[in-house]
Amino acid sequence: MQALAMVVALDPVHDSSMSRKGNCWDNAPTESFFNSLKNERVHATRYQTHQDAKTDLFEYIEVFYNRSRRHSSLGLVSPEQFLQDWIKAQQTKDAAA
């Protein structure tokens, strides 16, 4: 089963690159996401059904990747931790104003 094709169809946030073939630089966040997805999940998994793939990929993206996986672009903290730190910084800034 083509798990990567399913991810593309299921993920409305990441757009396909619109530049010429072979130029991935304009779409680095998407390239990075799919690299992580393929290396951390898809390559090691065989899905029996389309629903199995959807369930597993939803869990990876929504539960692990978006909440707890540390991202280099966020200073090696999870998105959840980054958001909490940002909210705390905003509250501190507002209190000082």
Residues 55-65: tens digit of each pLDDT: 999 998 888 88
Residues 3-16: tens digit of each pLDDT: 555 555 555 555 55
Query: Structural domain tally of the chain?
Result: 1
Q: Provide the residue range defining the domain that includes 24.
A: 3-96
The answer, yes or no, to whether residue 86 has pLDDT greater than 80, is yes
Residue 92: per-residue pLDDT: 92
What is each CA distance from 1 to 13, 26, 57, 65, 85, in whole angstroms?
A: 22, 29, 13, 22, 40
